[in-house]
Homo-oligomer: A and B are copies of this chain.
Amino acid sequence: MPTPELDVLGIGNALVDVLTHEDDDFIDKMKLNRGAMTLIDDEFAESLYDAMGSGIEISGGSAANTMVGIASMGGRAGYIGKVRNDQLGTVFRHDLRATGVDFASAPSDNGPRTGRCLIVVTPDAQRTMNTYLGASSLLGAEDVDETLVASAAVVYLEGYLFDLPPAQAAYWKASRVAHDANRQVALTLSDAFCVERHFDAWRELVRDQVDVLFANESEICALYRCDFDDALQKVRQEVKVAALTRSEHGSVLVAGDEVHVVAAQGVDRVVDTTGAGDLYAAGFLYGFTHGYDLATCGRLGSLGAAEIISHIGARPEVRLSDLAAPLLRK
């Protein structure tokens, strides 16, 4: 096979984040699922937006955030996701390309608007995400460009997108194309509710196709329906590498017999946890596709997560390659 042109190609929901600060009462009053990602329809999106305070708009989307992080680390990243040709779609495309991510998916000329994620940040810096998928829900197997997938060392699949059957077909196609080209498949479970909704489909995809798995504690427990330590024993038999994140307790990495426990990187003040997992994956995958050992990959993940939780929004505010330089002197 030729040398890959991209380090990682991400596939996910193309969303613009709308972030607002609210008290805990707001979560109760609007009956939101605290700390989770909930899919909402256009009507509830309108009424939630009406009730929300003043917001700021920052391009988001889990896998898109990860690709931006990889580019910020100095890696070569590409992205597949659907926006519409409206103002927020233009914002999303601009921001991805401006950070150096290769984004070739054509915007749709009709159908639902560009998707939005209404994010309520509570005083504890926890984010509660409410996603109107809009145009991003249209992604299907036909959007998976085989040449592009085969050109990336790793194809990275965002779990959030797995809620819809056309996207599930897209993931199977992308996985098969990647493996036929001797590439690797990475997946993030994204959300425990999402795992529970599509339990059998997830189990099958992980077992059959996934080489590198990202999950937090509740997600990995949901996937194996057991406690964390039991899940750890199970996942190491099913995937080549698992990176299990545990918020402020850092992460546990397993690859067959190899195990590493990596500390979280401290921050002065946690402002907004939006994107913590996305940027962990970015740091990890940059290391993974550049030949670093597993423990260094984990430390790069911690570094990415620490940068992103220290400010509002899920896109890095400084060049991650500058922050990472001390870790990358081989």
The one of B49, B54, B87, B113 that contacts A88, using a Cβ cutoff of 8 Å: B87
A55 pairs with B94, CB closer than 8 A = yes
| The stretch of A56-64, A150-158, A174-182, A199-207 that contacts the partner chain | A56-64
Question: Which residue, A54, A86, A313, A315, has most C-beta atoms of chain B within 10 A?
Answer: A54
Residue A68 is within 8 A (CB to CB) of chain B in the complex: yes
Chain B residues in 8 Å Cβ range of A59: 54
Chain B residues in 8 Å Cβ range of A317: 21
Chain B residues in 8 Å Cβ range of A95: 54-55
Chain B residues in 8 Å Cβ range of A113: 87
A57 pairs with B57, CB closer than 8 A = yes
By beta carbon, the residue of chain B nearest A21 is B317
The answer for the CA separation of A91 and B59 in the assembled complex, in Å, is: 14
User: Which A positions have Cβ atoms within 8 angstroms of B?
Assistant: 21, 49-50, 52-59, 68, 86-88, 91, 94-95, 98-99, 113-114, 313, 315, 317
The answer for the CA separation of A187 and B282 in the assembled complex, in Å, is: 49
A54 pairs with B315, CB closer than 8 A = yes
The one of B68, B86, B91 that contacts A57, using a Cβ cutoff of 8 Å: B91
Q: What distance in Å separates the Cβ of A30 from its nearest Cβ neighbour in chain B?
A: 14
The one of B54, B98, B315 that contacts A99, using a Cβ cutoff of 8 Å: B54
The answer for the CA separation of A113 and B53 in the assembled complex, in Å, is: 24
The one of B58, B87, B315 that contacts A86, using a Cβ cutoff of 8 Å: B87
Between A and B, 14 residue pairs with Cβ closer than 8 Å are A49-B94, A50-B94, A52-B94, A53-B99, A54-B94, A54-B315, A55-B91, A56-B58, A56-B313, A57-B91, A86-B87, A87-B87, A87-B113, A87-B114
Q: What distance in Å separates the Cβ of A56 from its nearest Cβ neighbour in chain B?
A: 5
Chain B residues in 8 Å Cβ range of A114: 87
The answer for the CA separation of A53 and B87 in the assembled complex, in Å, is: 17
Question: Which residue, A21, A58, A94, has most C-beta atoms of chain B within 10 A?
Answer: A94
What are the 7 closest A-B residue pairs judged by CB atoms, nearest first? A57-B57, A87-B87, A54-B95, A54-B98, A56-B58, A53-B98, A54-B99
B56 pairs with A57, CB closer than 8 A = yes
By beta carbon, the residue of chain B nearest A20 is B98
Q: What distance in Å separates the Cβ of A312 from its nearest Cβ neighbour in chain B?
A: 8
By beta carbon, the residue of chain B nearest A316 is B54
Q: What distance in Å separates the Cβ of A319 from its nearest Cβ neighbour in chain B?
A: 11
Q: What distance in Å separates the Cβ of A46 from its nearest Cβ neighbour in chain B?
A: 10
Chain B residues in 8 Å Cβ range of A55: 91, 94-95, 98
By beta carbon, the residue of chain B nearest A16 is B57
By beta carbon, the residue of chain B nearest A317 is B21
By beta carbon, the residue of chain B nearest A91 is B57
Q: What distance in Å separates the Cβ of A293 from its nearest Cβ neighbour in chain B?
A: 31
The answer for the CA separation of A91 and B113 in the assembled complex, in Å, is: 14
Chain B residues in 8 Å Cβ range of A315: 54
